[in-house]
Amino acid sequence: MSGFKETEIGLIPEDWEVVPILDCCMFERGTEVGGKNYNSEGKGVPFIRVGNIAKGLQGLVYTTCKKVKLCKEEDILIALDGSPGAVARGWRGAYASGIRKVLIKPNWENKLSYDYLYFILQHPVVQDVIKTYTTGVTILHASKSLQYIKIPLPPLEEQRKIAHILRVVDKKIEVEKRRKEVLENLFKTMLHKLMTGEIRLKEVDL
């Protein structure tokens, strides 16, 4: 195919590169504070566990422990234990040992965009490798997969444009998810009230 080249991760444009992720990124492991140091009263900082990366705020706990690794909302987090491959952004607080904060190495900061990195980590080119090298039965582990991950690297300006497009689509997906959630809650409420006679048919206006 004209304008493309064959690589170990498949066809990519000729002006793109393929880079081992450990060449350009560092993965900073979180800490485990132990269940006795969790609280649900909001004391201290949010303690982000693997379940939060995969499922959101449900089950979020807090900790007052000082010996923790912290993340900011713009940081990229990826789970490598429990739910390997789950990627998230927008969290602020401490994060557990099953999670890594992904940092671009200083000498790559003018070659790799965090926004692009966030999306490429969710791509099958990364996710399939994580799945392939995941071990364990009860608790899954995938830290060894990092050495096998290679990512396509467009020129920086193209990375930014790709990330912008995906960010717009991602926001639309979030809006639709919230809309669906509102409609599902409305359905459950109407189901109960109609089936119990609390709302009569003549009162319903669709």
Are 88 and 175 part of one and the same domain? no
H or E element that contains 164: helix 156-195
Are 137 and 186 part of one and the same domain? no
Q: How many CB atoms lie within 10 A of CB 191?
A: 10
The distance in angstroms from the start CA to the end CA of the chain is 53
Are 139 and 167 part of one and the same domain? no
pLDDT on residue 114: 98
Under 8 Å between Cβ of 50 and 81? yes
Are 132 and 206 part of one and the same domain? no
Q: Alpha-carbon distance 68 to 76, whole Å? A: 17
Are 24 and 112 part of one and the same domain? yes
Domain boundary among 138, 153, 168: 153
Q: Which of 22, 204, 202, 185 is nearest to 102 (CA)?
A: 22
Are 141 and 60 part of one and the same domain? yes
Are 189 and 146 part of one and the same domain? no
Under 8 Å between Cβ of 62 and 41? yes
Are 26 and 99 part of one and the same domain? yes
**Average pLDDT over every residue of 188-197:** 87
Q: Which of 133, 23, 118 is nearest to 80 (CA)?
A: 133
Are 68 and 39 part of one and the same domain? yes
User: For residue 13, is it within any domain?
Assistant: no
User: For residue 8, is it within any domain?
Assistant: no
User: For residue 9, is it within any domain?
Assistant: no
User: For residue 28, is it within any domain?
Assistant: yes
Are 112 and 167 part of one and the same domain? no
Band (2; pLDDT cuts 50, 70, 90): low
Q: Alpha-carbon distance 92 to 74, whole Å? A: 9
Angle subtended at Cα 108 by Cα 104 and Cα 110, rounded to the nearest 5 degrees: 110
**Average pLDDT over every residue of 128-132:** 97
Band (100; pLDDT cuts 50, 70, 90): very high
Q: Decide which of 51 and 1 is more confident.
A: 51
pLDDT on residue 58: 87
Angle subtended at Cα 103 by Cα 101 and Cα 108, rounded to the nearest 5 degrees: 165
User: For residue 12, is it within any domain?
Assistant: no
169 pLDDT exceeds 80? yes
Q: Is 162 exposed, middle or buried (0-12, 13-18, 19+ CB in 10 A)?
A: middle
pLDDT on residue 199: 78
Are 138 and 201 part of one and the same domain? no
Parent domain of 205:
155-206
Q: Output the domain CATH number for residue 79.
A: 3.90.220.20
**Could you give the number of structural domains in the chain?**
2
User: For residue 194, is it within any domain?
Assistant: yes
Three-state secondary-structure class, residue 134:
coil
Q: Which of 172, 170, 175 is nearest to 122 (CA)?
A: 170
Supply the mean pLDDT for the chain: 94
Are 88 and 182 part of one and the same domain? no
Listed in sequence order, the residues at least 6 apart from 119 whose beta carbon sits closer than 8 Å to its beta carbon are 162, 163, 166
Three-state secondary-structure class, residue 56:
coil
Per-residue pLDDT tens for 140-165?
A: 999 999 999 999 999 999 999 999 99
Three-state secondary-structure class, residue 3:
coil
User: For residue 128, is it within any domain?
Assistant: yes
User: For residue 14, is it within any domain?
Assistant: no
pLDDT on residue 187: 92
**Average pLDDT over every residue of 115-130:** 97
